[in-house]
Every structure is written in structure tokens, then in C-alpha cells.
Amino acid sequence: MDEPQIYAQLAKLFEDVFDDDSISVTPELSAKDVDGWDSLTHIRLLLSIEKAFKIKFTTSEIGSLKNVGDLVALIKERA
Amino acid sequence: MNPLYSELQWLPRAPLEFSSRLKALTNSTGPLGRELQALALSALDLNQLTKLAKAIDKARAEGKSLDSLTPFKLAVLSNSTIDMILPALVASAARYGIVLEVIQPSYDQVAQEALTPDSKVNSSKPDAVLFALDHRALPLKLSLGDAETAFATVQVAIGYLQALRDGIKANSNAVCIFQSFAPPVETLFGSFDRVLPGTTKDLINKINHELTDFILGSGDVLLDVAGLAEIVGTCDWHDPQLWNMAKFAFSDQLIPLYADHVARTIAAIRGKSRKALILDLDNTIWGGVIGDDGLDGIQIAQGDARGEAHLAMQRLALDLRARGIVLAVCSKNSDEVARKPFEQHPEMLLKLDHIAVFQANWSDKATNIQAIAEELSLGLDAMVFLDDNPAERGLVRKLLPQVAVPELPEEPSYYARTLAAAGYFESVAFASEDLKRAGFYQENAKRAVLQKQVGGVDAYLASLDMTITFQPFDAIGRARIMQLINKSNQYNLTTRRYTDPEVAAAEDDPAVFTLQVRLADIFGDNGMISVVICRLNGAGAWEIDTWLMSCRVLGRKVEHMVLREILEHARAAGIKKLVGIYRPTDRNKLVIDHYAKLGFSKIEEETSGLTRWELLLEGAAPESAPMKVISSLIASDLERSI
């Protein structure tokens, strides 16, 4: 799966998880930029991503994510 | 994970436009109860449940009318993170007609909240308190091989749970819902863990056992989480990574299932459990079609895999009846034919005196289900309707949304499991009155009088998006044509059987007009469902030698569309008159009025019961039906051939 495909699918997942279709999913995007992106929604987001891409993240990977760019790199490695 | 449970497969899939429908609702000003419940009635994932809960909370906060929904206040006390579960509870409760207000105290404040009179939970006066505790909430210390210490550990744990209950009883008198404890996966010895006193498995088993003892007869309620985890598998239930990361007591993928179980328990506390099971017959409680296959052709015998699958379904229905669920029948069949297996088939478990109302006729099932509900003096929201046919399920769901209609898998071996998994008959107590209920309808297997037809059948037909395809007989279709000609009994005007060479000859005979008819709809392709043979009979007339149809597509107005197609080609061939014949057999009463309904006039009636009908092409304009027509018959070819 290439990056544009990953971003396209992530955009759908962000909309689903945050119930907000105005979020623009860019590599720089991080929790502080999105209203309601707290620690629990973060987990719901990652669980939704795991399910959608049929992958599994390790606990330390989840802890090391700083922004969407990191996340996409990780998905690219797995999916 | 088994998708029956993790994806709630007894529920219809969530509509693609779920989010937009939800948005439209939140902006509407009318009463929202029914619409929100309708959205909750499909299988929603965690994100969809969260969105729906948000909409419900918003509607409640804005004081909008949630009319039909029953309010319920639930406090949830837990030693784990429940923030992601609570919205799922709110949305799942709507599925059961309940608008749930959730009281959530701070994380892991179980004892403080239960025991303090003016705690958040107690002062909110909840209807019920759910103790969403798992084994990590209990002081379980291993005491391998030490039965005495193990016993003491169990007593301490039970004492703790009892103290929680006493606190709630004294301070807010809410119903207490306890959870049984799902044993962890990891063993110490292996199988021996179950034998040796003082292992984790031994302690948890004993606590679960004692817990049921103190709940039975107490008025409090058990949510059998241990049983649920066992059903889905404890290794899928427990997710150590999620516990470590966020203190989730069980896998996020099972939250929709868990939430549905909490919701059905609350519904049961509120007396909303369903009370009657309405059964379709053909391919639901036996294999095959009684009207076509006959008493010796249906599959219901032990030793036959298909038959055993349907027998298991009958067994479950019978066991449900033994616990007080009323049974009824709703089938498209003639009454006499439908009753025959109940009266005469030696392998049938269900007998007529188990059935309170027996509706076998050719009217639509929504109208019949309404008649059953009236006959039983039960609400439609007390009914469950089981049918293998997705179109019938769709019709009943659309016209009578209060009736629970489970999706069924292709394989009948899983019917019983699917019905049980749906939990429509969830109960929190069992009283002697329950036992009497099913027997209360002593006048067995009676027929209810049909009231006026439930509206909207035509709109429903239109929503099926049907496509009807007409072709002349050909070699590719011949096997199925043969099968229909030689097997159909009910919707068969003349019941003439033909051999392969005879059918092949009809393909090329210029004096014969043939039709094979296929029907597809939103549920899929029904395949070939009707066959017609017309023979040139004297000057300017076609005699309809054969007209048959599969009963699966009854009530779709397929016969009207077939007549239109026949007329079109008859006209093109210069035909002036159609002649129809009804030859009665002991199986085809269904079509005795076939030609009358299509506007033919009766011209002759023999003592044998055979009737002859005619329709003059001039001015004939049969009713149309909402379906797309594809015809590969070219009028000019026909002219040439005849």
C-alpha cells in the first residue's frame, strides 16, 4: 500500500473516530491540533486503524508516535 | 473471533448512509425515539455506537422528545477503564427501546461509591448499579493445594461483593447487577489447575459459584460475563496489551457484544423481554417445501444432516416453550398442507398443540403477524419472527419494525445458535407463571382472522429493486426448466410433467411459445422462478399449456409481469386470444383463482374441477409492478417462428 492510499484511508478513519469531516490528515497533524484527541480517543483511533489495516502495533510503538507522519511510516512498514 | 458474536450477525448490517442519517436526525426537531432506535437496530461497530450515543445524549440534553423510549438510570462501578464502553451502552440500550442515562464516578472508586451514603452514585438514585468488575478487582492470592486458605479467599471475595451490595441497598436501594468473573487464560500446571484447590482457576470458579448462590432469590441480577467470555473464547476476551496500555478489562472488539448483553439485561429488568416466537415453516423448521416436496420429501429426519439441523431448531423452539415462550406459525402455504407434517410426520418434534396460533395462508406475513399478535393479546414488540427468506424478513422489518427479525445464516445448522445468540428472550428471573404462560393458550393451533392489510407493501416491493428477465427456453436453462416442470406442485396451473426430449423439442417448435423467467432483487439472484409454455391452438389463439412459479417469489406480482410479457409477444404474433386452464390436484389450490385475478373470464367448468379461461387481447391491460424488465425475446423472431 502506498502513502496516498494510506492517507486516504486514514482520513476516513479520522472522520469516523472524531465524528468530524473537517480534519485534514497531514504528516504534521498531532493530538494537540484536534479537538477531542485525548488519550482515550487516541486508543480508539489506533484500534480502528489496527482493525482497518489488519495490523497490530506494539505498546512501545504506540508510545513513540509523535504525529501522523510517524503513524503512516509504521503502517507502511506493516500493511 | 467468531463473527456471529463479535459482529452481532443476527442484526442486519449497518446502513452505508449511517452517519448521514444520524446527522439528519440530530438536526430534526420532531420526536426522535423511534428513529434513534431504528438506527440502533443494526450491527454497529464501536465508532458507530459512539456516534449514536453522542446523538442520544445531545437530544436528551436539549430536552428533545425521545417519545417511545423508556428512561433508565444506570450507575457503573468498575475497576477498569469504561469510558469507551459507556457510549456503547447508551447506543445499545436504544436498540431495546431504552434511553439510558449513565452515572460514572471516578476511576476505581467502587467501594467508596457503594458505601458512602451521599456518593455520586447513591445520591443520583439510579435504577440499577452495574458492578463491572473483573478478577483484578478481587484480592485473589494463590494458595496452591491449601483448601482451607482457598476457602477463606473465596469468602473474603464474596464478603466484599456482599458489602458492596449492602451499601447500595442501604443508600439508594437500586437493583444490583453483578458480573461473573471470566477466568484468565494462563494456567500454572495445565489441566491440573482445575483440580487443585487454590489456583486462580479454582478460586474464580468457586467465587462464580458462590456469587450465583447469593444472587438467586435476592432480587439482584447476574450478568454472566464468564459465560460470554467462554462463548467467544477467553483468549479473545482477555487482551493483556489493552489492559497494560489502558486498563481495558476485555478486548475492544467485544465491546459491542458486551454492551448488547448489558442492554438486554436492563431490558429484561424493565420487562421488555420478548414473549412469542413466530416460525416460518418451509426451509426454517424443516428442509424443503412441503407444498412441492410433500410429506415424504421434506427433510426432517434424524440421520439426515439437513434434517437434523432443522430438528435442532425445533428442539430450541420446544425448549423455549417449556420456559414460557409462546409459539406461533406464519407460513405461505395452504392451511391443510402446512398442518400435515405436524399431524402426520413421525419425526416432527413440534406438534399442533405446541402452536398457539397457526397462520398458513397466502397473504403477506406482516398482516399475518399482526393478526397473531392480536390473537395472543401481546404487543408487536413481544414478537420474534424467524424466517429463512431474506425478502420476507425485510418486509416484516420494514412494515412492523417493532417485531424482532433475526438475520439467519445460509447453513441451517446455525439457525438455533443464531436465535439463541440474539438474546430476545433474556430474563432475569423465572417464576411459576412463566411455566403456565405457553400453556395458557390452550385452544391450540387456531387461526387468527386477518385484519386489513398492513400498508406499504407496494412501497416495499419497489424498494426491493427487482429485475425480471425473460428468455425463451434454451439448452442452458433446460436442466432448471426440467426441475421446475417436474417438481413444482403448488403454483402450477396444469401440473404437466415433461421429459428432457419433450422440453428440447419445445425449444425449436414454431407452434410453441416458451418463457423462462428469472428474478433478481437487492438480496441477490433468485435464479429461474417461473416457466410458461403456450401452444398455438387453432386460429389466432394460444393455449397456456404450462404456467408455474416458485413460491419463494409469491406476492411480488411476478405473475402480472409474466402475463404482460406473454401478451406483448402474442400481439406481435397476431394472436387474438389467450386460453388458460386450471387442472386441480391435491396440491395446487393456491392457484385456483390465478386466471380470475389476472382478468381472464371463465368459459367452462368440468365436473373434475378443471376450469377453462380466456382473455381477449384487445383491451387487455394487466396490472404492472415495480420492477425492471429485461427481455431477450425479439418480437420479429417470434412472428417468423409462428
N-terminal to C-terminal alpha carbon distance within chain A: 7
CA B297 → CA B228, B294, B338, B487, B522, distances in Å? Answer: 39, 5, 14, 11, 30
Nearest-Cα residue of chain B relative to residue A16:
B47
Position B436 scores a pLDDT of: 66
Position B439 scores a pLDDT of: 65
pLDDT at residue B435 above 80? no
- Intrachain domains B69-269 and B276-422 with the same fold: yes
Low-confidence ranges of chain A (pLDDT < 70): none
Residue B245: its chain A contacts at CB < 8 A? 43, 59, 62
CA distance B237 to B229: 6
Topology of the domain comprising A3-78:
1.10.1200
CB contact under 8 A, A39 and B246: yes
Position B422 scores a pLDDT of: 98
Judge whether A2 is closer than 8 Å to chain B, CB to CB.
no
Q: Across chain B, what does the average pLDDT equal? A: 92
User: Is beta strand B541-549 parallel, antiparallel or unpaired with respect to B512-521?
Assistant: unpaired
User: Among the listed ranges B57-71, B174-188, B337-351, B451-465, which one has the minimum average pLDDT value?
Assistant: B451-465
Taking the CA of residue B3 and the nearest CA in chain A, the distance in Å comes to 14
User: Among the listed ranges B26-30, B146-150, B429-433, B521-525, which one has the minimum average pLDDT value?
Assistant: B429-433
CA distance B521 to B556: 11
Of A43, A44, A51, the CB nearest to B245: A43
Position B638 scores a pLDDT of: 45
Judge whether A16 is closer than 8 Å to chain B, CB to CB.
yes
Contact (CB, 8 A) for B294 and B337: no
CB contact under 8 A, B47 and A44: yes
Query: Higher pLDDT residue, B459 or B9?
Result: B9
Q: What is the DSSP string of B27-54?
A: T--S--HHHHHHHHTSB--HHHHHHHHH
> What count of residues does chain B have?
642
- Residues B276-422, CATH architecture: 3-Layer(aba) Sandwich (3.40)
Provide the ipTM: 0.89
Where would I find the beta strands (DSSP E) of B362-403?
A: 383-386
> Quick one: B478 exposed, middle or buried, by C-beta within 10 A (0-12, 13-18, 19+)?
middle
Average pLDDT over residues B46-50: 95
Contact (CB, 8 A) for B628 and B467: yes
pLDDT digits (tens, 9 = 90+) for B406-419: 999 999 999 999 99
Position B554 scores a pLDDT of: 86
Residue A17: its chain B contacts at CB < 8 A? 47
pLDDT at residue B475 above 80? yes
Where would I find the beta strands (DSSP E) of B29-172?
A: 70-78, 98-103, 128-132
- Residues B69-269, CATH architecture: 3-Layer(aba) Sandwich (3.40)
Position B34 scores a pLDDT of: 87
Taking the CA of residue B252 and the nearest CA in chain A, the distance in Å comes to 8
The two counts, helices (H) then strands (E), for chain A are: 4, 0
pLDDT digits (tens, 9 = 90+) for B162-212: 999 999 999 999 999 999 999 999 999 999 999 999 999 999 999 999 999
Give the orientation angle of helix B46-61 with respect to helix B18-26, to 10 degrees. Answer: 10
Contact (CB, 8 A) for B262 and B86: no
pLDDT at residue B478 above 60? yes
Of B83, B84, B245, the CB nearest to A62: B245
Judge whether B50 is closer than 8 Å to chain A, CB to CB.
yes
CA B438 to chain centre: 21
Query: CATH number of the domain at B464-641, out of 3.40.50.720, 1.10.1040.10, 2.30.42.10, 3.40.630.30?
Result: 3.40.630.30
User: Among the listed ranges A48-57, B290-299, B429-438, B567-576, which one has the minimum average pLDDT value?
Assistant: B429-438
Judge whether A19 is closer than 8 Å to chain B, CB to CB.
yes
CA nearest neighbour of B384 among B332, B327, B341, B343: B327
Q: Where are the domains of chain B?
A: 69-269, 276-422, 464-641
Confidence of residue B440 (pLDDT cuts 50, 70, 90): low
Of the residues B17, B51, B242, B252, the best mutation for testing chain A's interface (the one with the most A CB atoms within 10 Å of its CB) is: B252
Highest mean pLDDT out of A5-9, B31-35, B227-231, B498-502: B227-231
Query: Higher pLDDT residue, B96 or A36?
Result: B96
Taking the CA of residue B245 and the nearest CA in chain A, the distance in Å comes to 7
CA distance B239 to B241: 6
Residue B55: its chain A contacts at CB < 8 A? none
Average pLDDT over residues B74-99: 96
CA distance B326 to B317: 9
Taking the CA of residue A38 and the nearest CA in chain B, the distance in Å comes to 12
Residue B384 is classified by DSSP as E
Query: What percent of chain B shows pLDDT beyond 90?
Result: 76
CB contact under 8 A, A44 and B54: no
Residue A43: its chain B contacts at CB < 8 A? 84, 245-246, 252
Cell 507522519: give the residue.
A69
Query: Higher pLDDT residue, B442 or B397?
Result: B397
pLDDT digits (tens, 9 = 90+) for B114-144: 999 999 999 999 999 999 999 999 989 999 9
Average pLDDT over residues B360-376: 93
pLDDT digits (tens, 9 = 90+) for B565-609: 999 999 999 999 999 999 999 889 889 999 999 999 999 999 999
Average pLDDT over residues B96-122: 91
Contact (CB, 8 A) for B139 and B156: yes
Query: Higher pLDDT residue, B636 or B445?
Result: B445
Position B637 scores a pLDDT of: 47
Residue A39: its chain B contacts at CB < 8 A? 246
Contact (CB, 8 A) for B548 and B485: yes
